[in-house]
């Protein structure tokens, strides 16, 4: 076989191998995404939808740089390798090109500019403290992370539940969050969010579910032995199902008072969700205040200042 033809065959084999690798990677990633069925990419509420769009937009924008760079990496290594002297032009005196400089400084600058505007806008738009716009009246839920359970207090309905968050669909939910345990992170991937729950502090988060269903809720902050089981069900149902659930919970044989809360707060996991009648509407505030007692002892002055600043 003549030398030239042999080289052409070799190059064809190289390109073919490359295409096979790219194809395998593409299908591998697709299968992985389908198999995992990632909640974040499959939003069930307005907030999660906005977050998903932001992730996808940022991803596509970064591909504007990533795809050409990796294409050039492959093309240059094939074209300018030592065995390919004939094709590659030798230009030892070349030391600059205004066009190329404009491209590789200009495009990243534009991307950073676009990203900063988008990030600024979405940071304000998706501010967890911001209440959602909706003609439907929001419901309030107070969330307390325990070791290793999630307690949900419904102050207006006078009920509480553990490891089950029942909400009506298409209704904004205003959460206030704290912890009576180590720091945890409240996260319902299908609905958005991920906000820290910390003892002695109260944070806020507004979410909405725009469809019915059971969604996975979890703590995304490792907090000890029972952390792996510290999951809850976020159940979005029709308004009438929600009202029925509230009615049934009020008939619960269990009442959440100081004694039963004392049991609940002990480290341990629960096999099944529970519902309680709420005895004390100020329970949430008491839990927050538990960690906010002023330190009067002078020797701990710096400590009390730190606590004040943390408020």
Positions touching Cu ion (CB under 5 A) are 198, 201
Cβ partners under 8 Å of residue 38, min gap 6? 189
* Beta carbon of residue 201, minimum distance to Cu ion (angstroms, whole number): 4
Q: Which lies closer to Cu ion via its Cβ, residue 177 or residue 270? A: 177
Determine the residue with CB nearest Cu ion. Answer: 198
List alpha helices for 37-126, DSSP H: 46-79, 98-125
* Beta carbon of residue 198, minimum distance to Cu ion (angstroms, whole number): 4
Q: Which two tokens stand for residue 43?
A: 């939003």
Angstrom distance (rounded) from CA 173 to CA 166: 10
Q: Which lies closer to Cu ion via its Cβ, residue 127 or residue 244? A: 127
Q: For tokens 């919970």, what's the residue?
A: 249
CA–CA distances in Å: residue 26 to residues 22, 33, 71, 138, 270: 6, 11, 15, 43, 41
Q: Which two tokens stand for residue 2?
A: 């003549």
Torsion over CA: 112, 118, 124, 130 (sign) = negative
Q: Which lies closer to Cu ion via its Cβ, residue 162 or residue 198? A: 198
Q: Which lies closer to Cu ion via its Cβ, residue 60 or residue 311? A: 311
CA–CA distances in Å: residue 291 to residues 149, 182, 294, 307: 19, 12, 9, 9
Q: Which lies closer to Cu ion via its Cβ, residue 201 or residue 265? A: 201
* Beta carbon of residue 145, minimum distance to Cu ion (angstroms, whole number): 12
Q: Which lies closer to Cu ion via its Cβ, residue 170 or residue 219? A: 219
* Beta carbon of residue 263, minimum distance to Cu ion (angstroms, whole number): 27
Q: Which lies closer to Cu ion via its Cβ, residue 103 or residue 222? A: 222
* Beta carbon of residue 80, minimum distance to Cu ion (angstroms, whole number): 54
Cα 168 off chain centre by: 22
Angstrom distance (rounded) from CA 267 to CA 62: 44
Residue 166's Cβ-count burial label (10 Å; 0-12, 13-18, 19+) is buried
């Amino acid at each position: 076989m003549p030398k030239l033809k042999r080289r052409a065959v070799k190059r064809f084999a190289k390109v073919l191998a490359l295409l096979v690798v790219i194809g395998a990677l593409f299908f591998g990633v697709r299968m992985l995404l389908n198999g995992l069925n990632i909640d974040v990419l499959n939003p069930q509420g307005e907030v999660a939808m906005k977050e998903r769009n932001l992730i996808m937009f940022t991803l596509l924008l970064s591909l504007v740089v990533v795809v050409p760079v990796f294409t050039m990496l492959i093309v240059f290594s094939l074209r300018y390798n030592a065995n390919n002297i004939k094709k590659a032009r030798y230009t030892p005196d070349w030391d600059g090109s205004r066009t190329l400089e404009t491209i590789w400084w200009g495009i990243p600058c534009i991307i950073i500019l676009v990203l900063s505007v988008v990030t600024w806008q979405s940071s304000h738009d998706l501010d967890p403290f911001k209440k959602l716009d909706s003609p439907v009246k929001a419901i309030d839920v107070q969330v307390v992370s325990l070791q290793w359970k999630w307690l949900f207090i419904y102050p207006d309905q006078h009920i509480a539940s553990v490891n089950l968050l029942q909400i009506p669909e298409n209704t904004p939910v205003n959460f206030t969050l704290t912890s009576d345990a180590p720091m945890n992170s409240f996260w319902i991937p299908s609905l958005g969010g991920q906000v820290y729950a910390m003892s002695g502090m109260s944070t806020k988060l507004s979410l909405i579910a725009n469809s019915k269903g059971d969604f996975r809720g979890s703590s995304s902050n490792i907090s000890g032995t029972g952390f792996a089981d510290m999951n809850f069900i976020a159940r979005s149902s029709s308004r009438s199902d929600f009202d029925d659930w509230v009615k049934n919970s009020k008939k619960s044989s269990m009442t959440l008072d100081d004694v039963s809360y004392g049991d609940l707060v002990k480290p341990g996991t629960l096999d099944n969700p529970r519902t309680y009648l709420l005895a004390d509407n100020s329970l949430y505030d008491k839990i927050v205040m538990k960690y906010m007692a002023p330190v009067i002892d002078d020797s701990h002055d710096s400590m009390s200042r730190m606590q004040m600043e943390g408020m």
